[in-house]
Structure formats: structure tokens, C-alpha cells
Amino acid sequence: MADHPVDEKLPAPKMATTGLQHVAAMYAGVVAPPLIVGAAVGLTPAELTFLTGACLFTAGLATFLQTVGVWKIGARLPFVNGVTFAGVAPMTAIVASTDDKKDALPVIFGAVIVAGLLGFLAAPFFSKAVRFFPPVVTGTVITLIGVSLLPVAFGWAQGASPDADDYGSATNLGLAAVTLLLVLLLRRFTRGFVKQIAVLLGLVAGTLIAVPFGVTDFSPVAEADLVGFPTPFHFGAPQFQLAAILSLCVVMVVSMTESTADMLALGEIVERPADERTIAAGLRADTLGSAIAPLFNGFMCSAFAQNIGLVAMTRIRSRFVVATGGGFLVLMGLCPVAASLIAVVPRPVLGGAGVVLFGSVAASGIQTLAKAGLEKDNNVLIVAVALAVGVVPISAPEFYHAFPETARIVLDSGISTGCVVAVALNLVFNHLGRGGREAADVTHPMETGEDLTSPGKAPAAP
């Protein structure tokens, strides 16, 4: 019996180029948190480069855990892990509340270790929620993942920093549009392998086109060292403070919720639905990767939804391709010069490619919703309200400004709030009372419920 496409091992050249494409798609998301937190701490440029390399290195290790797997650890899906952006706000809050900024990173690292270990223990219990994720829920969440990521692409398209003079300039937006057009043309008029790496080719071409406009900065390559290693506990031994631990435990819950949604989405896309065991193994990889990361000066790890869009678009489903991407991340952590090559890609160019990647995720969600039985009023209400709640952080960023910082960690994640609302409404409308079947009758996360409101239909016997 032939291997499932998820377990397929492609030829080395194809594995390398498609793996590098995954790195290009997620690089900006990995380096942004250490740059923000490092700047808040007041690190020197050399220390900031070290912290960024450490996060790339630990993201590669976590990606290995997810794709290759060890024992009951790892979803063994083409699942990329990296530094979660959900932790940026609480980590900067920890920095602000620390009197001696030299202690800020050790305090953060200690909190990440504890949150990771607790999450690892909770993974098998957390995964049981998968039975409450029918298509009406998963489709809503997948759509929200794509919609929530689109503002990131639009931000990249405008430039590297909102404070820059050229932010949102015609040049930047033009480069984003040209990159988007190149990707679309490659997808339309090429075949085979070239078509599959259209995003990578678009990024390379867009970067070259940006050179005459002075947008491409090659100084990171000139200033980077050839070899570097993330020395364990470079910034000091971890410190354990209760407030910081509680704050990052909340982030871990948010991260596990998003990872669960991402695994369900990816399982649907690669046609290997993520069951309870797969999700438990994936959450173990997430949380163990997070617990190990501080040893090498890295932060909390989580799923990267933008790479799900790349899998959906290219239809390359091999987990070993993503494992190869993890290898590149480790290499970049050990070789700053290699990391700097990806850093050369201008943000507007990334933004143009991001429109395709993130839009593909939303489109996958719509495809799933097509199987969700939207002819039923109950399901229409579930989707309508969950989507509305999920887009609040995008459409009204200050909507929850009066809430405590800890609560905002959850509320400002549209994916998490939309997911919770979709699950809760699905329980109310499709499981409790006369609204639907008993929860015990849901045997598969992708199972479509019967229309129990039709005449002559009754709940299935337990």
C-alpha cells in the first residue's frame, strides 16, 4: 500500500527548495517577538542578534518534534512551530514590571518553562475537546485563522515599521502588488515543481526588483557572523515569579487552543483528519518545545498558521518537507549569515506573498463550511456569531481596552475567542436538549450532524 502523501519523502532538491519556502513564509513571524521583547529589555544589537538566532534555533527543534515525532510527541503532520506572538504583550509587561531589566529575560524564561511543563501534562486532557469540533466549528475557525492573518500581510505590504517615512508609500505598495502578481502568474502559467514553489520564486524576484528602489537592505549579511551557537542560559539562570508564571500559563492555554484549531485545519487540508490522539501528540510537541526553548534562550512555541496556507496552496503535504524547513531554521540559529539571507527580503515583498498564503487559509475554511450543513438555521447562527466575535480584534482593536491585561491576552486573539464561541454555540444548538444529538454520539471531529429538526427525525440512540 502506497504511503500517504503526508509520509512521502521527496527528492532532495525538491525537499530543500520547498522546505526553504516554508522558512520564507514564517521567518518574519519568528523574528518579530524577540526583536520586540529584546528592544524592551534594552539589548545591544549583538545581543538582539543572538536572541533572534536562539528563537530560530528553538523553532527548528520544535518543528522537528512536530513533524518527525518521538514516542507520543508530535502530530507527524506538515506542521511548523515557531515563537507565538500571543506572548509578546505579557512578556513586555513582565519587562516593564521588572526593576532590573537584566532580570527580565530570566524571569520570562522561568515562566515559559513552567507553563510548558504544565501544558505538556494537560495535553491529553485538552485534546479530548476535539469531539466538539464538527465542520461548522472547524470551518469557522479555519476561516478566522486566514482572516486574522490578512492584516499581518497588509502591514508587511506597507513597510517594515509604521514609524518609517516610507510606510504605506506607493513604492512599498507597488512592490507588494508586483510580488502578488508574480506569484499569481507563476501559479497560472507554470506546471509541476515550478508551480509548487511559486511563492519562493515570487519572493526572490520581488527582492531583486526592490533593489533599484533602495528597499532591499543587504547590511544584515555583511554584519552577521559565520558561526554562532545559542549558549544555554546566556542571559542568566531562569527565575520563577508567580505573577509571570500565571500570565504565561494563560498564554499557553491560548496557544494550545490555536494549535488545536490549526491541527484540525491542517488535517482537513492534507486529508488526514486530526483525531484526539494526533492532537494530544501535537500539543505535547508544542508544550515540550516551549519548555525546552528557554534552555537555549528561546520563547514559547506554537503553530504557525501561515504555513498551513502554503500547504493548502502548493498541495505539497509531506511532513518531511516541513522537517527540512526545521533543519534550515536550526542552521540559521547556528549560522547567523544564513539567517540574514532571509532577512534581506523586504517586508512589502513578504506582504504581497502573504496575501496569497493567508487568503488560501480562509478559502480552505470556506470549503470546510460547505460541508457544515449551512441549510440549517442553527448552523448559520453559529457561523455568523462566531465569525463576528472573531473579527472584533481586527475591526475594532481597542474594543476590549477596559479589560484587565490578562483577559486581553485571550480576548485579543480572534482565533481563540471565535473558537470558544463556535464550540459553545454548537453545544447549545446541536447537542443540548432538542437542539441536536447527545454529545456522546459525536464519533468523529469532521462528522456532519444530521438535521434533527426535520419531521420524523429523532436523536440517534446512544
| pLDDT score, position 357 | 75
Return the half-sphere exposure (C-beta side, CA atoms, 13 A cut-off) of residue 233: 9
Whether the predicted pLDDT of 448 surpasses 60: no
Average pLDDT over residues 214-233: 78
Of the two residues 328 and 337, the one the predictor is more confident about is 328
Give the Cα separation of 155 and 157 in Å (integer).
5
pLDDT > 90 in the chain, percent? 22
Q: Do residues 111 and 94 touch, judged by C-beta distance below 8 A? A: yes
| pLDDT score, position 227 | 78
Average pLDDT over residues 218-230: 75
**Number of residues written out for the chain:** 462
Give pLDDT tens digits for 254-296.
778 778 878 888 888 888 888 889 999 999 999 999 999 999 9
Whether the predicted pLDDT of 330 surpasses 60: yes
Of the two residues 120 and 6, the one the predictor is more confident about is 120
User: pTM of this prediction?
Assistant: 0.68
Q: Show Cβ contacts of residue 286 under 8 Å, excluding neighbours closer than 6 positions.
A: 62, 66, 81, 119, 255, 256, 259, 301, 302, 303
| pLDDT score, position 384 | 93
Q: Which of 124-128, 173-177, 219-223, 241-245 has the lowest mean pLDDT?
A: 219-223
Please check whether residue 431 lies inside any domain of the structure.
Answer: no
Q: Do residues 296 and 52 touch, judged by C-beta distance below 8 A? A: no
3-state secondary structure at position 3: coil
What's the Rg (C-alpha) of the chain? 22
Please check whether residue 298 lies inside any domain of the structure.
Answer: yes
| pLDDT score, position 83 | 86
CA distances from 354 to 76, 82, 208, 316, 321 (A): 25, 17, 18, 18, 20
Give pLDDT tens digits for 342-391.
667 888 998 898 888 778 778 878 887 887 888 888 889 999 999 999 89
Element (H, E) at 303: strand 301-303
The candidate with the shortest Cα–Cα distance to 357, out of 29, 33, 60, 84, is 29
Q: Do residues 358 and 150 touch, judged by C-beta distance below 8 A? A: yes
Whether the predicted pLDDT of 57 surpasses 60: yes
Q: Which of 334-338, 348-352, 407-411 has the lowest mean pLDDT?
A: 407-411
pLDDT > 70 in the chain, percent? 88
Q: Do residues 159 and 373 touch, judged by C-beta distance below 8 A? A: no
| pLDDT score, position 442 | 36
Average pLDDT over residues 297-322: 84
Please check whether residue 325 lies inside any domain of the structure.
Answer: yes
Q: How confident is the model at residue 453 (pLDDT cuts 50, 70, 90)?
A: very low
Of the two residues 365 and 327, the one the predictor is more confident about is 327
Q: How confident is the model at residue 89 (pLDDT cuts 50, 70, 90)?
A: low
Whether the predicted pLDDT of 451 surpasses 70: no
Of the two residues 458 and 198, the one the predictor is more confident about is 198
3-state secondary structure at position 272: coil
Query: CA 375, 376, 382 angle in degrees (round to 5)?
Result: 115
Whether the predicted pLDDT of 70 surpasses 60: yes
Please check whether residue 391 lies inside any domain of the structure.
Answer: no
Give the Cα separation of 93 and 248 in Å (integer).
11
Average pLDDT over residues 228-244: 86
Neighbours of 461 (CB within 10 A): 6
CA distances from 428 to 47, 77, 241, 447, 453 (A): 51, 32, 39, 17, 14
Residue that has been written with the C-alpha cell 513586555 in this structure:
92
Give the Cα separation of 52 and 221 in Å (integer).
14
Give pLDDT tens digits for 182-205.
989 998 888 766 776 787 788 889
Whether the predicted pLDDT of 100 surpasses 70: yes
Average pLDDT over residues 32-36: 76
Count how many domains the chain has.
1
Query: CA 251, 41, 345 angle in degrees (round to 5)?
Result: 80
> Cα torsion at 311, 312, 317, 322 (round to 10°)?
10
Q: How confident is the model at residue 45 (pLDDT cuts 50, 70, 90)?
A: low
> Cα torsion at 149, 74, 299, 45 (round to 10°)?
-80
| pLDDT score, position 112 | 94
HEC sequence for 5-48: HHHCCCCHHHHHHHHHHHHHHHHHHHHHHHHHHHHHHCCCHHHH
Ramachandran area for residue 109 (φ above 0: left; ψ -120 to 50: alpha; else beta): alpha
Return the half-sphere exposure (C-beta side, CA atoms, 13 A cut-off) of residue 154: 8
Q: Grid coordinates in use for 41?
A: 529589555
Average pLDDT over residues 14-35: 80
Neighbours of 330 (CB within 10 A): 17
Please check whether residue 86 lies inside any domain of the structure.
Answer: yes
Q: Grid coordinates in use for 211?
A: 533593489
Please check whether residue 448 lies inside any domain of the structure.
Answer: no
Whether the predicted pLDDT of 118 surpasses 90: yes
Neighbours of 185 (CB within 10 A): 12
Q: How confident is the model at residue 177 (pLDDT cuts 50, 70, 90)?
A: very high
| pLDDT score, position 2 | 59
- Domain of 144, in residue numbers: 5-370
Please check whether residue 198 lies inside any domain of the structure.
Answer: yes
Give the Cα separation of 444 and 453 in Å (integer).
21
Whether the predicted pLDDT of 12 surpasses 60: yes
List the beta strands (DSSP E) in 78-163. 81-83
| pLDDT score, position 406 | 66
Mean pLDDT, the chain, rounded, equals 81
Whether the predicted pLDDT of 325 surpasses 60: yes
| pLDDT score, position 437 | 46
Please check whether residue 130 lies inside any domain of the structure.
Answer: yes
